[in-house]
């Protein structure tokens, strides 16, 4: 009996706007050649049109062949809530595990190929193995930087994650009626969008309030520290230095 391969990657770790999306794709070993025929590879090597076309082909093949697809959309609100008691690396371990659990059954056996989001690949692997727990003991887990460019299954997962995040950003732009740009703090379009989105009584929900780009813009507009928010939607105003 052939084994299984799970590729896992994320899109949207660094942007200040929008969700962080993690995708896990599970296929039989022998279907790696199918992914190559579909043109799957590191999403960064593809144009937006190419990514969308290949993403649709992957999802169609997944449906017809019974591949497992697990996509976890981590909204900015969850990222902000997590920042109050943990860090982004640990949150991504949780998101990777959730995606893997959605893509495959633990009592199967195979190999997980994850794009390491930690500067320390071995630490990322240990944490992922620990989070998955003993139920996944039949699986071998490997984490590497740039796994999406080294392994076609991880590359395919990177495409699915990137397209899903792009779709989320497009919806947000349509709702707001403004151009967000790449979402990265260095993007002038994004900087302009952030300034608009902190002008209300609270920062807009699509922003990552815990990012320094947002807190700096909020301070500039409102003259005080940016509010804190929890995953349940509650917000807390932070006292300014003058109030201590």
Q: What pLDDT, on the 0 to 100 scale, is given for residue 2?
A: 64
**CA–CA distance, 202 with 84 (Å, rounded to integer):** 18
Single out the residue in 170, 191, 220 at which a domain terminates.
Answer: 170
DSSP sequence for 183-203: --TT-HHHHHHHHHHTSSSS-
124 and 200 fall within a common domain = no
70 and 142 fall within a common domain = yes
pLDDT higher at 226 or 240? 226
154 and 230 fall within a common domain = no
**Containing structural domain, residue 19:** 4-170
195 and 108 fall within a common domain = no
CATH number, position 146: 3.30.420.10
Does a structural domain hold residue 243? no
35 and 72 fall within a common domain = yes
135 and 219 fall within a common domain = no
73 and 125 fall within a common domain = yes
Q: Using alpha carbons, list the distances in angstroms from residue 69 to 19, 27, 72, 104, 195.
A: 18, 9, 10, 8, 37
Shortest CA distance to 24 belongs to which of 135, 88, 90, 110? 110
36 and 84 fall within a common domain = yes
120 and 48 fall within a common domain = yes
Q: What pLDDT, on the 0 to 100 scale, is given for residue 243?
A: 45
Single out the residue in 127, 148, 170 at which a domain terminates.
Answer: 170
Report whether pLDDT(244) > 50. no
Confidence of residue 230 (pLDDT cuts 50, 70, 90): confident
Q: What pLDDT, on the 0 to 100 scale, is given for residue 238?
A: 67
Could you read off the pLDDT of 9-53 as tens digits, one per residue?
999 999 999 999 999 999 999 999 999 999 999 899 999 999 999
Report whether pLDDT(240) > 60. no
Does a structural domain hold residue 187? yes
Does a structural domain hold residue 70? yes
Single out the residue in 148, 170, 192 at which a domain terminates.
Answer: 170
Does a structural domain hold residue 111? yes
pLDDT higher at 239 or 137? 137
Confidence of residue 236 (pLDDT cuts 50, 70, 90): confident
Q: What is the DSSP letter of 240?
A: P
Q: What pLDDT, on the 0 to 100 scale, is given for residue 87?
A: 95
Report whether pLDDT(242) > 60. no
Does a structural domain hold residue 244? no
Q: What pLDDT, on the 0 to 100 scale, is given for residue 239?
A: 58
Could you read off the pLDDT of 70-118 as tens digits, one per residue?
999 999 999 999 999 999 999 999 999 999 999 999 999 999 999 999 9
Per the CB < 8 A criterion, the answer to whether 52 and 164 are in contact is no
33 and 133 fall within a common domain = yes
60 and 102 fall within a common domain = yes
Q: Count of domains in the chain? A: 2
Could you read off the pLDDT of 156-182 as tens digits, one per residue?
999 999 999 999 999 999 999 999 998
């Amino acid at each position: 009996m052939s084994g299984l391969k799970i590729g896992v990657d994320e899109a949207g770790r660094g942007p200040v706007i929008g969700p962080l999306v993690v995708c896990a794709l599970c296929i039989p070993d022998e279907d790696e050649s199918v992914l190559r025929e579909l043109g799957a590879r590191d999403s960064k090597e593809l144009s937006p049109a190419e990514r969308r076309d290949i993403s649709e082909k992957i999802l169609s093949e997944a449906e017809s062949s019974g591949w497992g697809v697990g996509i976890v959309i981590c909204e900015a609100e969850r990222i902000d809530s997590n920042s109050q008691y943990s860090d982004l690396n640990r949150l991504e371990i949780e998101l990777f595990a959730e995606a893997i659990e959605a893509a495959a059954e633990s009592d199967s056996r195979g190999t997980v190929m994850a794009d390491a989001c930690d500067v320390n690949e071995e630490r990322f692997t240990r944490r992922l193995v620990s989070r998955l727990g003993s139920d996944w003991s039949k699986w071998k887990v490997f984490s590497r930087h740039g796994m999406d460019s080294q392994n076609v299954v991880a590359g395919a997962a990177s495409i699915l994650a990137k397209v899903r995040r792009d779709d989320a950003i497009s919806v947000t732009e349509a709702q707001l009626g403004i151009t967000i740009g790449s979402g990265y703090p260095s993007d002038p379009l994004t900087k302009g969008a952030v300034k608009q989105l902190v002008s209300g009584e609270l920062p807009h929900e699509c922003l990552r309030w815990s990012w320094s780009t947002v807190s700096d813009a909020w301070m500039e507009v409102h003259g005080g520290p940016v509010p804190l928010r929890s995953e349940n939607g509650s917000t807390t105003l932070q006292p300014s230095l003058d109030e201590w």
